[in-house]
Structure 1
Amino acid sequence: MPGELVLLVNPAARGGRSSRLLDPVVRRLRAGGRPVSVVVGASAEDALERARAAVAAGPEALVAFGGDGLVHLAVQAVAGTGVPLGVIPAGTGNDIAAAFGIPRDLRAAADVVAAGAVRVADLARTDGGEWFAGVMACGFDSKVNERANRMTGPPGAARYLLAMLRELRAFAPIPFTVTLDGETSAGEATLVAVANTGSYGAGMRVCPQAEPDDGLLDVLTVGPMPAAAFLRVFPRVYRGTHLGHPAITARRARRVTIDAPGVIAYADGERLGPLPLTCEIVPGALRLLAPPTV
Structure 2
Amino acid sequence: MRRVLFFLNPLLMQRRNRRALVEGLARQLRGEGCEVELQDTLSAHSAGEQAKDAVAAGFDTLFVCGGDGTLFQVIQGVAGSEATVGIIPFGTGNVLAQNLRLPRDPVAAFSLLRRAEAVPVPLGRISCKSPGHAQDRTWYFTIAAGMGVHAALMNLAPTGSGKRVGGRAAYFAGGFRLLLQHPVDPFDLELTLIDGSRRTLQASELIAVRVPAINVWRPGGNLEAPELQVAIVPATTRLGLAHASFHALLTGRSANGTNGSSRLPYPEYVTATQIACRPVQDHTYQSPLLVEADGEVIGLKRASITIAQRRLRLLWPR
TM range (shorter): 0.7 to 0.9
Q: For 2:206, which of 175, 186, 192 is the aligned residue?
A: 192
Residues 29, 110 of structure 1: 8 Å contact kept: no
Residues 205, 240 of structure 1: 8 Å contact kept: no
Deviates most, 87-96 or 108-117: 108-117
Alpha-carbon distance change, 187 to 47 in structure 1, aligned in 2, over 3 angstroms:
closer
Residues 151, 159 of structure 1: 8 Å contact kept: no
Matched letter for residue 186 of structure 1: L
Are residue 214 (structure 1) and residue 225 (structure 2) matched? yes
Q: For 1:267, which of 293, 304, 307 is the aligned residue?
A: 293
Residues 28, 107 of structure 1: 8 Å contact kept: no
- Deviation (angstroms), 1:236: 5.3
What is the alpha-carbon distance in structure 2 between the residues aligned to residue 48 and residue 92 of structure 1?
20
Aligned equivalent of 1:5 = 4
What is the alpha-carbon distance in structure 1 between the residues aligned to residue 291 and residue 154 of structure 2?
10
Please list every run of 5 or more consecutive structure 2 residues that lacks an aligned counterpart in the other structure.
Answer: 128-136, 259-264, 280-284
- Deviation (angstroms), 1:43: 0.9
Alpha-carbon distance change, 228 to 69 in structure 1, aligned in 2, over 3 angstroms:
same
What is the alpha-carbon distance in structure 2 between the residues aligned to residue 104 and residue 38 of structure 1?
21
Please, what TM-score do these two structures have when normalized by structure 2? 0.80
Matched letter for residue 256 of structure 1: I
Aligned equivalent of 1:164 = 175
Alpha-carbon distance change, 48 to 163 in structure 1, aligned in 2, over 3 angstroms:
same
Matches within 5 A, 1:47-86: 47-86=47-86
Please list every run of 5 or more consecutive structure 1 residues that lacks an aligned counterpart in the other structure.
Answer: none
What is the alpha-carbon distance in structure 2 between the residues aligned to residue 188 and residue 210 of structure 1?
20
Residues 215, 283 of structure 1: 8 Å contact kept: no
Alpha-carbon distance change, 5 to 242 in structure 1, aligned in 2, over 3 angstroms:
farther
Aligned equivalent of 2:275 = 256
What is the alpha-carbon distance in structure 2 between the residues aligned to residue 168 and residue 273 of structure 1?
21
Please, what TM-score do these two structures have when normalized by structure 1? 0.86
- Deviation (angstroms), 1:123: 0.4
Alpha-carbon distance change, 291 to 125 in structure 1, aligned in 2, over 3 angstroms:
same
What is the alpha-carbon distance in structure 1 between the residues aligned to residue 218 and residue 148 of structure 2?
14
Matched letter for residue 280 of structure 1: T
Residues 126, 145 of structure 2: 8 Å contact kept: no
Q: How many percent of aligned residue pairs carry the same amino acid?
A: 25
RMSD of equivalent CA atoms: 2.7
What is the alpha-carbon distance in structure 1 between the residues aligned to residue 138 and residue 268 of structure 2?
28
What is the alpha-carbon distance in structure 2 between the residues aligned to residue 14 and residue 194 of structure 1?
31
The number of aligned residues is 287
- Deviation (angstroms), 1:129: 2.1
Aligned equivalent of 2:190 = 179
What is the alpha-carbon distance in structure 2 between the residues aligned to residue 29 and residue 151 of structure 1?
31
Aligned equivalent of 1:144 = 153
What is the alpha-carbon distance in structure 2 between the residues aligned to residue 236 and residue 188 of structure 1?
17
Alpha-carbon distance change, 247 to 20 in structure 1, aligned in 2, over 3 angstroms:
same
**What's the secondary structure of 1:113's corresponding residue?**
helix
**What's the secondary structure of 2:10's corresponding residue?**
coil
Bigger radius of gyration among the two: 2
Alpha-carbon distance change, 226 to 264 in structure 1, aligned in 2, over 3 angstroms:
closer
Matched letter for residue 145 of structure 1: M
